[in-house]
Amino acid sequence: MLYLRSPYHIAQRLLGLIISLLLGLTLVGSPSSALASAPRLESDLPNAAGVIAYMNGRQEIRVINPDGSNDHAILNISGDEVVNHINSLAWSPDGAQLAFSSSHEQTCSPYRADIYTADASGGNLRRLTHGPKCADLSAYATGSVTVQVANQLFDQSIYFIYVEGMAEAQELVISPGAVVNVTLNNVADLGDGIMQRVVIFQTEQNNWIWPAQVDVVAGSTVDAGEFKISNSNKYLSYGAFFPSWRNDGAGVAFALGEADLYAVSASAGALDGGASLFPNDSVFGNFVAYSPVANEILFFHGGTVYKATPGDANSITALVELDWTLYGLDWLPDGSGFVLSDGSGFADDENGGLRPETMNIWKYTFAGSSLQQITSYTTEFAFHPSVSPDGQYVVFSYGATYTSPAELRIMRIDGTEVQSLGVGGIRPDWGPANTVAPTATPTTVPTSTPPPATNTPAPTDTPTGQPTVQPTNTPTPLPAENLVQNGGFETGDLSSWIVPENSTVIVTGDGAYGGQYAAYFGGIDNANEEFYQQVNVPNTGEQGALTFWVNQFSEESAEGADFFCASIYDANTVEQIFDLGCLDGVEAINDSYDAEAWWLAQYEFQGADWNALKGKAILLAFQMYTDGSLLTTVLIDNISFQTGSTAVATPTPTPISTAQPSAQRTWTAILYIDGDNDLCNAYPRLLTRMEQELGDKIGPNGFLNITVLIDHHPGY
């Protein structure tokens, strides 16, 4: 269920590890003895210069020449590969460095995976995000940190708590509902005035983020304040994944968790976690790749590949809509296009869900917006493509079946002359021609001691159609039509709304957001209030949007006592189509009405979910339930349900502009809901970024404009 949260209480629930998101397979690197039969390289490929780096399994990086010679390891990760593993890698533009994402130090970092760099031989290892790496912390003097932790979960009691600068997270056992004072010793003092963050986690998938941070002082004990553990500040896959170098080598872009596009300087200092590629984290995606020749990126989000200029949300252009999800992408070296892998067809996977029947590699060219299929497998799998420095060849991972070991293959850019490199591997990256020849001695990377891992069911993939080239022009959208009558209650009553018998919801002239009136829910004990309106959705248009303004104030101190909820029903069958969630009274910022505490709830319906509404008579329903003490009141105003047409080239990550009171500082976040209405692709750093950007200015007058896009996401 999606919980309709206030600005400070946005919950995130994601489906599976980030590594399984874009890999989507059980295919892994393997010894050459297990490879499927394929022609072996008989001679050097012409013009195929450079070096190919790849992952052998999930704990080793190897390099190999394009002719299959000189295959050897340069870096190894030790420990349990379930929690200590490499996720992806990328050569620097000059071939002198390799960036990679790894989770091997997740117990001494705020992130569950960080971006690292090493030279071409695997040496000079450096943690780029949230440095320094664990082994380097011993050079700093240490102090102690105290923090008060409140466990607001009623089914969890064992956690790990970490302050930046600790060499190892400390186990925290706290009973459900309890509040404990924790002292953390031997915390490195990383510098005067440097604020070091507190985080709590259980595994790679369960993380709690709270704006608790402290300036550690060597030889002293300092207090970080309180830290609350609850479902509202829980985040999954909170780490840095899929690095991509800027074309001048000055920075590395990466996906932060499942939703953010970030970049960090190649010379990042201590505790630098990177910064958003777009103002106010306004554009979301879970894969990013810098152009090799220009200040542009490709990114993937919600089943579509987009192109954009960093920093300019208006530059976003939708290019290709995928059938399943992204199984690898790489630019052409001259910047004229890119190659990608996508799945097609249907087959049952080993976990009872659906998977693609095959995967193939496609080439997209910007000139003419052309999409060309360059492999033609019907039951086999081609994924993780990488283009040679001269643009003439592609190396990729190949699997004879969905579960068979993967091998590396090379082909010409047109799909001909497919040959095996004779090694098993995944996520190859073809380095430039001047790559420094690495030595044969691999670097063994020390790991932090990981917490026990938990098993996560594999997500069920739901295809939406064949890969589709998106037009680059933007047609003029059709005018949007508001289908709600008296949504602002300016009649002074509830006319046009259906109010069940015994429902005590009223209209008030005190405290409206816009105009003179608003609907007033609660404010009494044992309220059981409801009203709804039938809306006839036309059988035209491409999307719909439900919006309304909310102002909640409450005396409530217990979770689960008072609720304000919103739903959409089929007017004919009275079956629920969408549960839009509930706002808990305990989440109210104020205990009395504050005219500046209005915030906007906004839902967009696109794709399959828009089709679930289009052409139907629906009921927009709002309910309020309270217990017998400690009053909660909710005002709502300006309810609108609009429909219209939008160009397919209009990117879903672009925030929707809405009018805001001038006294408010507004953020916009677009959250994504899967077919079960779970929060699937949300915003992993919302609370942290609010604290960083607004600091103590947020107060009661800073608000978040919440946009929720309901859509099915294949592969999530």
197 or 610: which leads in pLDDT: 197
Strand order in the sheet with 221-229: 179-188, 142-151, 221-229
The 10 Å Cβ neighbour count of residue 255 is 30
Structure tokens at 471: 């037009």
Q: What letter would DSSP give residue 715?
A: T
Asked if pLDDT for residue 267 goes beyond 90, the answer is yes
What local confidence, expressed as pLDDT, does residue 462 receive? 33
Domains and CATH numbers, the chain: 481-646 (2.60.120.260)
What local confidence, expressed as pLDDT, does residue 234 receive? 81
Q: Which residues are CB-neighbours of 636 under 8 A, at least 6 positions away?
A: 518, 519, 521, 548, 549, 550, 551, 622
Asked if pLDDT for residue 701 goes beyond 70, the answer is no
Asked if pLDDT for residue 469 goes beyond 80, the answer is no
Taking the alpha carbons of 402, 407, 412, 417 in that order, is the dihedral positive or negative? negative
The 10 Å Cβ neighbour count of residue 439 is 14
What local confidence, expressed as pLDDT, does residue 448 receive? 62
**579-600 average pLDDT score:** 86
CA distance 595 to 123: 59
* Whole-Å CA distances, 701 to 141, 665, 704, 706: 40, 7, 10, 16
CB 532 within 8 A of CB 484: no
What local confidence, expressed as pLDDT, does residue 157 receive? 83
pLDDT tens sequence across 58-80: 999 999 999 999 999 999 998 87
Residue count (the chain): 716
β-pair partners for 581: 566
pTM, two decimal places: 0.62
- Three-state DSSP at 21 gives helix
As a dihedral over the C-alpha atoms of residue 264, residue 269, residue 270, residue 272, rounded to 10 degrees, the angle is: -20
pLDDT tens sequence across 142-175: 999 999 999 988 778 889 999 999 999 999 999 8
What local confidence, expressed as pLDDT, does residue 277 receive? 96
519 or 37: which leads in pLDDT: 519
CB 261 within 8 A of CB 278: yes
CA distance 516 to 511: 8
Structure tokens at 41: 């390289």
